[in-house]
């Protein structure tokens, strides 16, 4: 059992953790979540013992073996395989002692202990973990110094998992992983037989692995049973209860103040008025739910272009005359939502650079409209932001000829309004820098948006806001991400990049997950060995199918827009009901009965809109299968 007792941490004069208290269940799988900057990593360091709190402490069994990945990646001439094996300190020490100890009795004891800790299977276990994290047999025996920092962090994670601690602490473990390694990690953690505390913004991992959510907000922690979806439901109920309690408290406070004002000066009622004054002073205000105005992504809509946006036929692409991908046949239309699948190093980024125009095809044919504008997001753009400049200065440099109001309007689309537009980038969080990079690449309303791992450093709420913005965006989207929720919510086509090819994947993301974990046999279309048809006829047939599906797509889009409008309207009515001071001018004039009646009408219209969306979606699915 792990107990956090009134943990308080102050950094730079700011209270990060304020008497944070919780008792975590034994062998629990705890997802530690909270907004960026809330203090999750700080709390993790306190649990790990690498940071001393200013107050309170952490209690755990003294015999518990704790495992925590340091921020520095391993380096040197050693190999990933050797590094992982050394992580089992006891095994390594016993083997070293076995080779040098002269006493046969001690050697016998060492043999018994090696058997007890299953030391002889250690090489196989180490190799399996490394394979799951993307290291094939050859890669396991290359020097660490030949790998990038991200791959060496994978080695650090592999070593931690291999060491099998009683308390496993993971701080955003999927940040350096691709989708395939993320799925493997999730499957591994499901079967891990010890306590896990994991900081993660991966909705699927939080739903499929953890059995409790530890939510950190305003320095306090609250433990919720279940996964992330359970947490969202419970927290929504809690916030609704708080809103209702605040409303009731405000009414009670108004009554007390009115009584005091009317009776405080009268001798016959002065005592009662004083009593009510004391009750009023003791009344603790119920905190209002905190809303974050920076949860904003709003991609500008591009002017229309006739399809296709990109047409690639029998193209090859690579570097220094050596192809990475060959025989690429791919078409992108203005409303396409495409996700690129495949392990890191297989060519996803190469294909993204080809689509963006940063790489030229070595052969084959590529056709794009002359007016095509592309917005291309990578983590390198985040890292290359000038730390001494503000968002306003960055945007002003790029939007040459634009007036200040236009520059601020583009920044405002991504939550940088008022003073936030003038803060230095060096003081911004990773999530804020990512939002700024997205604002910069979309300043000219691109027709095609290519996002390479856009969710790194974004918390769950911000990722959801990004998904919603992508669904509202009128251009085409190509996304590379290890976040399955983002892929499922924003992509309707999957392309597998593997073995030098980039081909449509025949199946859903769930099918792909099963194939990676060995549970299914879904295959990419057009994989090696498959007969290659007449591409002109195939494109013609595809174009005919898209035209037939156009009406359904438009009906879906119209229904989605109407659903979004009605959902927003329902939220306005709810605000007017629970907090009249936040109501719109029109709603403020309505009685509670009128608002309730209006809410009912909105609910019915919303249900009808959702039904239209469902019918259109089923029709589109039927047309696609036909």
Mean pLDDT, range 500-509, rounded to an integer: 90
| Token pair in block for residue 62 | 């003294």
* 8 A C-beta contact, residue 516 and residue 506: no
What is the sign of the dihedral through the CA atoms of 377, 382, 387 and 391? positive
What is the domain class of 310-528 according to CATH?
alpha beta
pLDDT of residue 316: 95
Closest to 473 measured CA to CA, from 377, 615, 605, 606: 377
Which of the residue ranges 297-306, 339-348, 399-408, 506-515 would you say has the lowest mean pLDDT? 506-515
| d(C-alpha 294, C-alpha 329), whole Å | 40
CA angle 177, 204, 333 (to 5 degrees): 75
Query: For residue 410, what pLDDT band results from cuts at 50, 70 and 90?
Result: very high
**First-last CA distance in the chain:** 56
The pLDDT of residue 526 is above 60: no
| d(C-alpha 186, C-alpha 198), whole Å | 11
The tens digit of pLDDT for each residue in 444-500 reads 999 999 999 998 888 888 888 898 888 889 999 999 999 998 898 888 899 999 999
Query: For residue 46, what pLDDT band results from cuts at 50, 70 and 90?
Result: very high
Q: Is the peptide bond prior to 308 cis by the omega test (within 30 degrees of 0)?
A: yes
| d(C-alpha 240, C-alpha 284), whole Å | 18
**Between 152 and 592, the higher pLDDT residue:** 152
| d(C-alpha 60, C-alpha 41), whole Å | 19
Mean pLDDT, range 354-360, rounded to an integer: 93
| d(C-alpha 330, C-alpha 439), whole Å | 28
pLDDT of residue 626: 55
pLDDT of residue 529: 35
| 212-217 vs 220-225, strand pairing mode | antiparallel
| d(C-alpha 311, C-alpha 609), whole Å | 35
* Residue the block writes with tokens 């019915």: 604
What is the CB neighbour count within 10 angstroms for residue 461?
A: 17
State which H helix or E strand residue 199 sits in. strand 195-199
The tens digit of pLDDT for each residue in 101-136 reads 777 788 888 888 888 877 888 899 999 999 999 999
**Between 34 and 592, the higher pLDDT residue:** 34
* 8 A C-beta contact, residue 219 and residue 40: no
pLDDT of residue 12: 82
| d(C-alpha 506, C-alpha 473), whole Å | 26
Query: For residue 176, what pLDDT band results from cuts at 50, 70 and 90?
Result: confident
The tens digit of pLDDT for each residue in 263-302 reads 767 766 666 667 667 766 766 554 444 455 557 788 998 9
pLDDT of residue 610: 80
Closest to 310 measured CA to CA, from 267, 353, 259: 353
The tens digit of pLDDT for each residue in 327-349 reads 999 999 998 999 999 998 899 99
| Token pair in block for residue 100 | 């040098």
| 374-377 vs 363-367, strand pairing mode | unpaired
Mean pLDDT, range 179-189, rounded to an integer: 92
Instruction: Give the CATH number of domain 1-65+165-226.
Output: 3.40.50.300
Mean pLDDT for the chain? Answer: 85
The tens digit of pLDDT for each residue in 562-614 reads 888 888 888 888 888 777 777 888 888 888 778 888 888 888 888 888 888 77
**pTM of the shown model:** 0.71
Reduced to 3 states (helix: H, G, I; strand: E, B; else coil), residue 96 is: helix
532-541 LR contacts (CB < 8 Å, sep 24+): 535/313, 535/314, 535/329, 539/311, 539/331
CA angle 513, 518, 519 (to 5 degrees): 70
Query: In Å, how far are 283, 518, 608 from 262, measured between CA atoms?
Result: 20, 76, 52
């Amino acid at each position: 059992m792990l107990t956090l007792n009134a943990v308080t941490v102050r950094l730079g004069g700011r209270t990060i953790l304020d008497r944070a208290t919780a008792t975590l269940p034994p062998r629990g799988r705890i997802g530690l979540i909270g907004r960026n900057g809330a203090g999750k990593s700080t709390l993790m360091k306190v649990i790990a013992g690498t940071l001393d709190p200013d107050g309170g402490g952490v209690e755990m069994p003294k015999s518990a073996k704790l495992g925590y990945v340091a921020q520095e990646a391993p380096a040197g001439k050693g190999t990933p395989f050797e590094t992982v094996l050394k992580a089992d300190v006891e095994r390594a020490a016993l083997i070293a002692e076995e080779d040098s100890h002269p006493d046969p009795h001690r050697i016998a004891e060492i043999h018994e202990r090696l058997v007890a800790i299953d030391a002889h299977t250690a090489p196989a276990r180490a190799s399996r973990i490394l394979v799951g994290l993307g290291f094939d047999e050859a890669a396991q025996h290359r020097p660490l110094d030949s790998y990038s920092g991200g791959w060496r962090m994978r080695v650090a994670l592999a070593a931690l998992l291999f060491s099998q601690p009683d308390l496993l602490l993971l701080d955003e473990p999927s940040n350096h992983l691709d989708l395939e390694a993320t799925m493997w990690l999730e499957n591994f953690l499901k079967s891990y037989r010890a306590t896990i505390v994991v900081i993660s913004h991966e909705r699927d991992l939080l739903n499929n692995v953890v059995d409790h959510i530890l939510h950190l907000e305003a320095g306090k922690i609250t433990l919720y049973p279940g996964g992330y979806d359970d947490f969202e439901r419970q927290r929504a109920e809690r916030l609704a209860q708080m809103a209702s309690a605040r409303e009731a408290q405000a009414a009670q406070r108004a009554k007390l103040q009115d009584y005091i004002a009317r009776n405080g000066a009268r001798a016959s009622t002065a005592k009662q008025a004083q009593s009510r004054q004391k009750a009023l002073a003791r009344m603790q205000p119920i905190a209002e739910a905190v809303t974050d105005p920076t949860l904003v992504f709003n991609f500008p809509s591009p002017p229309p272009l006739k399809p296709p946006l990109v047409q690639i036929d029998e193209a090859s692409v690579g570097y220094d005359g050596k192809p990475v991908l060959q025989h690429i046949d791919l078409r992108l239309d203005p409303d396409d939502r495409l996700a690129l699948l495949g392990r890191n190093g297989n060519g996803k980024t190469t294909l993204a650079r080809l689509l963006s125009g940063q790489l030229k095809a070595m052969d084959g044919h590529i056709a794009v409209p002359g007016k095509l504008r592309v917005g291309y997001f990578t983590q390198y753009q985040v890292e290359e932001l000038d730390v001494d400049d503000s968002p306003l200065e960055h945007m002003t440099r790029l939007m040459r000829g634009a007036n200040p109001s236009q520059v601020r309007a583009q920044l405002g689309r991504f939550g940088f309004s008022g003073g936030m537009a003038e803060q230095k980038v060096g003081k911004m969080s990773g999530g804020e820098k990512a939002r700024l990079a997205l604002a910069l690449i979309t300043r000219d309303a691109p027709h095609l948006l290519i996002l390479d791992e856009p969710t790194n450093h974004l918390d769950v709420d911000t990722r959801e806001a990004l998904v919603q913005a992508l669904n509202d965006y009128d251009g085409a989207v190509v996304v590379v991400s290890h976040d399955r929720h983002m892929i499922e919510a924003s992509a309707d086509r999957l392309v597998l990049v593997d073995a030098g090819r980039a081909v449509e994947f025949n199946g859903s993301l769930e099918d792909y997950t099963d194939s990676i974990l060995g549970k299914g046999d879904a295959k990419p279309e057009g994989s090696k060995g498959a007969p290659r048809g007449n591409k002109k006829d195939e494109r013609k047939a595809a174009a005919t199918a898209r035209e037939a599906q156009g009406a359904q797509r438009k009906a879906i889009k119209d229904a989605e827009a109407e659903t979004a409008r009605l959902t927003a309207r329902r939220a306005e009515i709810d605000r007017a009901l629970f907090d009249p001071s936040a109501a719109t001018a029109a709603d403020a004039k309505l009685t509670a009965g009128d608002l309730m009646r209006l809410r009912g009408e909105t609910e019915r219209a919303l249900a009808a809109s959702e039904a239209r969306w469902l019918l259109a979606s089923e029709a589109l699915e039927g047309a696609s299968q036909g």
